[in-house]
Amino acid sequence: MASSSTNTLYGFVKPEILAKAKKIKLLVCDVDGVFSDGRIYLGNNGEELKAFHTKDGFGIKALGASGIDVAIITGRKSQIVTTRMQALNVRHIIQGEENKLPALKALAQQQQISLEEIAYIGDDVPDLDCIKSVGLGIGVLDAHPSILNAADHITFIRGGFGAVREICDLIMQSQNTLDGAKGASV
């Protein structure tokens, strides 16, 4: 690989991606297609089920322990998401926001940080404006083509299968906190 790339745990990335990741104070994630594989399971009695990966859970816990705050912004409302994010100590759980950029800007203002200090990971058109507006815009490997074209970085892993953990590790590597990563696979 060319010397213009830096090796991470998941593959080679451009040094400017690590430079952007080094500035991050807040990771904001979409849920469906990012924390999950995007599928929604509906039972005969109307119950909704989603699958979450424990690797992502460890990543979020470790990132939080390293001092980086985490938020979710999702267009859907789900008690499953609330329960999962609370288990991961995610402090900012924003659901039912189809127009995500105003919610992202309000969160940045509330946290007194610039959009440049935010990483946003998404997978589909509702995430596009956020990805274009932040310091590090990320698309999952299996994201919609509009996301793949606009993102600063594309994960090596598909959404729902550890892509969030990959980004947590990337941020911690860039900030020299990866070796001390602590958390739990929840």
Per residue of the chain (186 residues), give pLDDT as tens: 445 788 889 999 999 999 999 999 999 999 999 999 999 888 899 888 899 999 999 999 999 999 999 999 999 999 999 999 999 999 999 999 999 999 999 999 999 999 999 999 999 999 999 999 999 999 999 999 999 999 999 999 999 999 999 999 999 999 999 988 876 667
End-to-end CA distance of the chain: 35
Residue with tokens 């909704």: 48
- How crowded is the C-beta side of 41, counted as CA atoms within 13 Å? 8
Locate the domains of the chain by residue range: 15-180
Contact 153, 17 (CB under 8 A): yes
- Rg of the Cα atoms in the chain: 15
Angstrom distance (rounded) from CA 174 to CA 180: 13
- Can you give the pTM of this predicted structure? 0.94
- Domain 15-180: which CATH class? alpha beta
